[in-house]
Structure 1
Amino acid sequence: MARSTRSHARRSQPATFQVRVDLDDAKPPIWRRLLLSSELMLDELHAVLQQAMGWTDSHLHQFMAGDNNVDRFAEQFHIQFMLDEGADGVLENRVRLDELLAEPKDRLFYRYDFGDGWEHTLVVEKVLPRADDEPPALCIGGARACPPEDCGGIWGYHHLLQDPTIAHKLVSDDFDPTYFSVEETNAGLRDLAAPPVPIPEGRDRHFQPAATAVRWLLTRVGGQGIRLTAAGYLPPAVVTAAMDELRWRELWIGTCTREDTTAPVFALRETAAQLRLLRRYRGQLLLTRKGAALRDDPEALRRYLAASLPTPPWWASGRYATDAGSAAPS
């Protein structure tokens, strides 16, 4: 039977844990250095780790507190589904980080995707006083890109990097295993921490046309992304498909093949990017984690647009001022 490792009382005053997160057995190392609020619950820490490492939250996970990640007596922390399926452990959203970590060198283990078995080790480096305005989580360092999902775990990833024929099937041509950006990571962490904006009752229904268009674009981008043109625009086939499938062509005068002269499509993409649903990476348009989640939840997407935008966007209204293929809000 697992022993209880929650030997620490919750702190009366919050602290900041400087934690290094390593993807076990990665060579060269894949790691992140995070400043974490001691008040984070484990389900919140899961979301932080997904964002900071670069995973897509597409698989099950668990936390473990023990001597190491194969300690059969380690205490395990699960989501409700796993407990319902008979797993032995504690519900993760009832456990606070400072119940498991207290001092430098304290460790916590995190497993993501029970098939591929991505193992992570979290080590406390420092315990710092906490300012009132600090975010719940902040990235201050790291190295190397997150491996692609479903590539066979860390050993499959090592094999992938050594075999271009395998890599071609699993990752885009411009995948850069050395790439990491603190700024991009923190942009995602800020999204996690953003409080929900209250929406007046019924207001979100006015955003349904915009939500339909944004969801179309998110679906079109999909898991593989869209290769942009050399000038950084959507390819003509996508622009034409948007105008046809969203039924905007009948409202438009001019050609519908170039994004830079088809203002509704250009504005649609700009809006999705500004709302951090899409991102550009080395010539490709990709879904963010938030974009992937909202693509599959139409009602949540509509509410998100209503909370994020002051009014329904002009490009979803169908009221275009057109002149030889250009457009502006009417």
Structure 2
Amino acid sequence: MSRMMHISSQQAPVYIYEFKITLNHSNPTIWRRIQVPELYNFHDLHLAIQFAMGWKSGHMHQFDMNHPRTSKEVSIGFPNEEGFSDYKVLSEKRVKISNYFTLLNNMALYTYDFGDGWEHEILLERILTAVANTTYPKCVAGERACPPEDCGGIYGYKYLLEIIANPQHREYAEKKRWLNWIGYNEVNPEHFDPRSVTFDYPIQEEFEFSD
């Protein structure tokens, strides 16, 4: 589950990073705004994004951004110590977000599911002081529903919406059965309520690695 952090009124000030997460190429835009503790590593941030967006963490993912001091692009995610790739991926469990995100180096690309290719722009908007007696992470804003997993990426999702909007479409019955099978009894692409986001329910990751 996502690492929850309760801020008491007695502890020293803790800084909070406020991120806007935008699903690239979505139109109208699907986005979320979340607040997470500066103590988070990139794995914690990954889980917070998954919960806020509505993904299920069943696929590989990766962060790509510039190093704040060298400006060289770095990849953070599952380390490729077994030689699966020609380039180095830093372990997201060992890299703190505060080591890379600054107000001047405030953007990253987060890719989820390399097959469907869900690309998200991660923008650090503000660094705040944590509010006492508050539990983080929090989803404070957002718009529109998360697409279903495994629907073929953003363009597959657009095609899916076209199909279910037209009961006369030749693929309508098939897609409705598939949506029901994966738990989408009703698809309302315009609906999102940030108050419905919880970060404390178990999430079973398909891919795990040790520290």
TM-score w.r.t. the length of structure 2 is: 0.75
Aligned to 1:321: none
- Partner-residue secondary structure (3-state), 1:103: coil
Equivalent position of 1:41 in the other structure: 41
| Superposed displacement of residue 162, structure 1 | 1.4
- Return the offset for 1:160: 1.2
Q: How does 1:106-125 map to 2 (within 5 A)?
A: 106-125=106-125
Q: Does 1:76 align with 2:84?
A: no
**Partner of 1:200 in structure 2?**
none
Alignment correspondent of 2:187: 175
1:104 and 1:123 in contact (8 A); partners too = no
The structural deviation recorded for 1:135 is: 2.4
Aligned match of 1:184: 196
Kindly indicate which of the two structures has a greater share of residues assigned to helix. Answer: 1
1:17 is aligned to: 17
C-alpha distance after superposition, 1:172-204 (max 9, x if no partner): 45111112121210xx21x16xxxxxxxxxxxx
For 2:74 and 2:104, the matched residues in 1 are separated by: 20
- 1:4 maps to none
SS of 1:44's equivalent? Answer: helix
Assess, with a 3 A threshold, how the Cα gap between structure 1 residues 183 and 111 changes in structure 2: closer, same or farther.
Answer: same
Q: For residues 129 and 45 of structure 1, what CA distance do their matches in structure 2 show?
A: 18
Q: Deviations over 1:78-118 (max 9, x none)?
A: 224x4424332211111111111121671121110010010
Specify whether residues 135 and 108 from structure 1 end up closer, same or farther in structure 2 by C-alpha distance, changes over 3 A only.
farther
Aligned partner of residue 50 in structure 1, secondary structure: helix
TM-superposed CA distance for 1:170, in Å, is: 3.8
Q: 1:83-122 to 2 correspondence within 5 Å?
A: 83-87=81-85, 88-103=88-103, 106-122=106-122
Which deviations, in whole Å up to 9, do the C-alpha atoms of 1:294-322 show, x marking residues without a partner?
A: 9x9xxxxxxxxxxxxxxxxxxxxxxxxxx
Separation of aligned partners in 1, 2:59 and 2:83: 15
Asked if structure 1 preserves the Cα contact closer than 8 Å seen for 2:32 and 2:141, the reply is yes
Give the partner amino acid of 1:168: K
Give the secondary structure class of the aligned counterpart of 2:48: helix
Matching of residue 57 in structure 1 with residue 54 in structure 2: no
In the other structure, the counterpart of 2:168 is none
Aligned residues: 177
- TM-superposed CA distance for 1:163, in Å, is 2.1
Distance 1:83 1:26 in 2: 34
The residue identity in structure 2 corresponding to 1:181 is D
Q: Percent identity?
A: 29
| 2:93 counterpart SS class | helix
CA gap of 1:31–1:83, structure 2 versus 1, over 3 A, is farther
SS for the counterpart of 1:84 is coil
Separation in 2, partners of 1:103, 1:13: 19
For the structure 1 residues 137 and 104, does the alpha-carbon distance in structure 2 shift closer, same or farther, using more than 3 Å as the test? Answer: farther
- Report SS of the residue matched to 2:32: strand
Alignment-mate amino acid for residue 86 of structure 1: F
Q: Match for 1:48: what amino acid?
A: A
CA–CA separation in structure 1 for the residues paired with 2:196 and 2:75: 31
Alpha-carbon distance between aligned partners in 2 of 1:144 and 1:131, rounded to the nearest angstrom = 27
**Alignment partners' CA distance in 2, 1:65 and 1:107:** 7
- Whether contact under 8 Å (2:66, 2:105) holds in the other structure is no
Counterpart AA for 1:35: Q
TM-score by length of 1: 0.49
Cα contact 2:57–2:204 (8 A) shared by 1: no
Q: Please report how far the alpha carbon of residue 127 of structure 1 lies from its aligned counterpart in structure 2 after TM superposition.
A: 1.5
Q: CA RMSD in A?
A: 2.6
1:20 is displaced (CA, Å) by 0.6
| Superposition pairs of residues 188-199 of structure 1, within 5 angstroms | 188-189=198-199, 191=200
By how many angstroms is 1:169 displaced? 4.7
